[in-house]
A and B are shown apart, each in its own frame.
Chain A
Amino acid sequence: SQELEQSPQSLIVQEGKNLTINCTSSKTLYGLYWYKQKYGEGLIFLMMLQKGGEEKSHEKITAKLDEKKQQSSLHITASQPSHAGIYLCGAVGTGFQKLVFGTGTRLLVSP
C-alpha cells in the first residue's frame, strides 16, 4: 500500500522567514493534495497538483509536484502567524482509490 512521509514533522520559524515542507511517496504519484488544518478543526483544501512539474500558488504558498522523485514540496514565503497549523498531503491513486494521507507537518510561526 502507498505511504506518504512528510518532513519535517514539526517546524518553528520566525515570522517573515521562508520555509519548505516535503511530502515523499513510496509509490508513483498521480496527483497530490495539500490541506491545512488549524488545531482541533477540519481540513481546508489548499491546492491539488495533477501533473509532474506542475506548480501552483495561492497567496504566499507555492506547491510543486516532482513525479520522478515521487515527491511534492510546499513552500511558504514570508511566513505569518496565520500560516500556523498542520499541513497534510494526500496522494491521488489510480482509478477509484481511497485518498492516502501523510502524517502531517506541524508549523508554528513565532513573532
Chain B
Amino acid sequence: DGGITQSPKYLFRKEGQNVTLSCEQNLNHDAMYWYRQDPGQGLRLIYYSQIVNDFQKGDIAEGYSVSREKKESFPLTVTSAQKNPTAFYLCASSIIWGSSYEQYFGPGTRLTVT
C-alpha cells in the first residue's frame, strides 16, 4: 500500500538537544511538506520541497532545518534554536507543488521537549 510514514509517533527530548523527525513516502510524489499543529491553531507550514535537492522556507522555518536528498525522504530537524518545539508535527506530500493538488498526510509525530 502506498502512503506516508512518520517515525516515531512520540518523541521526548531534553531542552537544548537537536532532534530529527523522519518522513518517508512511497507515492512517487515530487512535493513534500512539514507542518506544525498546536492546540487551537490550524496547520502552519514549516518547510516544503518541490523536488529532490530543493527546499524552501514556509511561514515558521526559524529553528528548523530539512534536507531532501532522496525523492521519498524529507527529514525535519528541530534544533535547539526553536523556542517552543513541543508540538504535533505532520508531514505531507502531493504529486506536485501547489494548493490545487491534494496533499496526503502521515500519521504525525508528537514531540515533547522538557
User: What is A's interface to B at a CB cutoff of 8 Å?
Assistant: 4, 9, 31, 33, 35, 40-45, 48, 88, 90-93, 95-104
Q: Is B98 engaged at the interface, CB distance under 8 Å to the other chain?
A: yes
Chain A positions within 8 Å of B102 at CB level: 33, 45, 48
Which of B41, B98, B104 lies in contact with A97, CB distance below 8 A?
A: B98
Q: How many residue-residue contacts, CB under 8 A, span A and B?
A: 55
Known pairs A42-B105, A43-B90; A93 contacts B40 (CB<8 A): no
The answer to whether B41 touches A103, judged by C-beta atoms less than 8 angstroms apart, is yes
How many residues from B make CB contacts under 8 Å with A? 24
Chain A positions within 8 Å of B106 at CB level: 42
25 contacts between A and B (CB under 8 A): A9-B40, A31-B100, A40-B108, A42-B4, A42-B6, A43-B90, A43-B105, A44-B105, A88-B42, A90-B99, A92-B100, A93-B99, A95-B98, A96-B99, A97-B98, A97-B99, A98-B45, A98-B48, A98-B58, A98-B99, A99-B99, A100-B99, A101-B43, A102-B42, A103-B41
The answer to whether B41 touches A41, judged by C-beta atoms less than 8 angstroms apart, is no
> Which of B41, B48, B98, B104 has the largest number of chain A CB atoms within 10 A?
B98
